[in-house]
Amino acid sequence: MESYDRGYSYDNYFGQIDLLGKFKTGSVSHQLLIGFDFNDFTDTYKAVFDTNLPLLDIRNPNYDVPEPTYRPSFDFENRVRSYGLYLQDQIAFGKNIKLLIGGRYDWVSSKLSTLDYSLIENPANESMSEDAAFSPRIGVVYQPNDTISLYASYSSSFRAQSGFAASALGFEPTRGTQYEVGVKADWLKGKLSTTLAAYRLTRTNVLTTDPNNPLISIQTGEQRSQGIEVDIAGEVLPGWKVIASYAYTDAEITKDKTFPVGNRLNNVPENQVSLWTTYEIQTGSLKGLGFGLGLFYVGERQGDLENSFQLKDYLRTDALLFYGRDRLRVALNVRNLFGIDYVTNAYSPTSILRDAPFTITGSISYEF
């Protein structure tokens, strides 16, 4: 059994400037966006640990144990600066076809200052890394009529990583590429909408827990996720609103030197379903009183990239009672109505996160 005393803090400064212009070239309309953003992120982490504690039964815990004798493990500061310049144009060819084309260029620099890295062999006191990349994006929407839209898109991404590495040199930026196609349709004179989408997402240099040391992270070679998503949302009858969704996801490792190719990604279920519905009384003395019910199903998932253990599926039920009149709104939210015991995420067999039991949250709001 292990015990840790950790201190973590971060400072984040972000700024963004956008310029939007609209103009025409003949019969073609343009919405041109030019922007620049800046982000300065510094995280500081310090931890000590002890590995000589007795085992703890989480269902019947005994906290009468000796005071831990802590040893240093981490003490470092990591500063990441990023600059991004982007340009995109949304082009309308009449009423039926719209084209979005653009891209951004990112510059990223990272500085890691190590005061103590006791779990790492021969750590450097300070390391610097710099990188840059161009990320294009393009999308097209075709509307054969007022109720149906067909779309397709391609985009790429580039993002700096921050974490606890097995080397003071840190991590390479994560890169991603996504393709998506879909169709959206409106029904009942716009009161109900449905969306069907298929996608394929590939990412490289993704952070994950080191199977040999759960305190630090490593980067995987390449991960691929693909699947289908279905969404339904709208007001079926006056006062009765419904939001429903289903997602099928096929997610696996496609390139790597640490984990077997073909292993499923951890914490990603093949099947996920949700249904949220509310009804608000429309007339009479109880006008404004409403009720809500939500069902959330998450299928079985792998607990780690080694696929050494699985997380069971679960069905969580939420409820809502609310009242709104004029500018006043009062709500009572119930999460996990039946108090089921389930796991939301896992990073290793010794790092598993359970969600909260039966929880009630009340709120009152008034608009001036």
Beta strand 222-237 with 289-298 is unpaired
How many percent of the chain have pLDDT more than 90? 60
Distance CA 123, CA 74 (A): 11
Give the model's pLDDT for residue 169: 58
Q: Are 89 and 102 in contact (CB under 8 A)?
A: yes
* Residue 293 identity: L
- The mean per-residue pLDDT over the stretch 116-123 comes to 52
Closest CA to 70 of 92, 44, 45, 52: 52
Top pLDDT among 119 and 5 is at 5
Range in 25-29, 33-37, 167-171 with the lowest mean pLDDT: 167-171
Residue 18 clears pLDDT 80, i.e. is over it: yes
Indicate the helix (H) or strand (E) that contains 219: strand 213-219
pLDDT of res. 120 = 52
**pLDDT at 29 exceeding the cut of 90:** yes
- Tokens 């109505």 correspond to what residue? 337
Q: Write the pLDDT tens digit of every residue in 48-99.
A: 766 677 777 777 877 777 777 777 666 777 788 999 999 999 999 988 999 9
Instruction: With beta carbons less than 8 A apart as the criterion, state whether 196 and 209 touch.
Output: no
pLDDT tens for 217-226 read 788 889 999 9
User: What are the extents of the domains in the chain?
Assistant: 3-366
Give the mean pLDDT of 292-303.
Answer: 96
Percentage of the chain with pLDDT > 70? 90
- pLDDT class for 215, splitting at 50, 70, 90? low
pLDDT of residue 50: 65
19 vs 275: CA distance, rounded Å: 39
Higher pLDDT, 361 or 66: 361
Q: What is the average pLDDT across 328-347? A: 93
Are 223 and 203 in contact by the 8 Å Cβ rule? The answer is yes
Residue 234 has pLDDT above 90, yes or no: yes
How many Cβ atoms from other residues are within 10 Å of residue 241's Cβ? 19
53 or 285: which leads in pLDDT: 285
Q: Can you tell me the mean pLDDT for 147-164?
A: 87
> Is 163 strand, coil or helix?
coil
3-366 CATH: 2.40.170.20
Residue 265, classified by CB atoms within 10 Å of its CB into exposed (0-12), middle (13-18) or buried (19+), is buried
Task: Find all residues with CB under 8 Å of 131, minimum gap 6, and list them.
Answer: 107, 108, 160, 172, 173
Q: Mean pLDDT over all residues of the chain?
A: 88
**What is the number of other CB atoms lying within 10 angstroms of the CB of residue 167?**
16
Q: Is the Cβ–Cβ distance between 330 and 363 less than 8 Å?
A: yes
Quick one: pLDDT band at residue 116, thresholds 50, 70, 90? low
The pLDDT of residue 316 = 97
253 closest CA partner among 244, 242, 245, 262? 262
Place of tokens 């069905």: 315
- Specify which residues 259 forms β-bridges with: none
The arithmetic mean of pLDDT across residues 163-177, rounded, is: 73
C-beta atoms surrounding 217 within 10 Å: 19
To which residue do tokens 């609209």 refer? Answer: 22
Non-local (6+) Cβ contacts of 273 within 8 A are 245, 246, 247, 295, 296, 297
Could you give the CA distance from residue 343 to residue 326 in angstroms, rounded to a whole number? Answer: 40
- Residue 116 · residue 72 · CB < 8 Å: yes
Q: What does the alpha-carbon distance between residue 233 and residue 299 come to, in Å, rounded to a whole number?
A: 22
Q: How far apart are CA 244 and CA 277, in angstroms?
A: 8
**19 or 122, greater pLDDT:** 19
Asked if 158 and 135 touch (Cβ cutoff 8 Å), the reply is yes
pLDDT of residue 5: 73
pLDDT of residue 125: 60
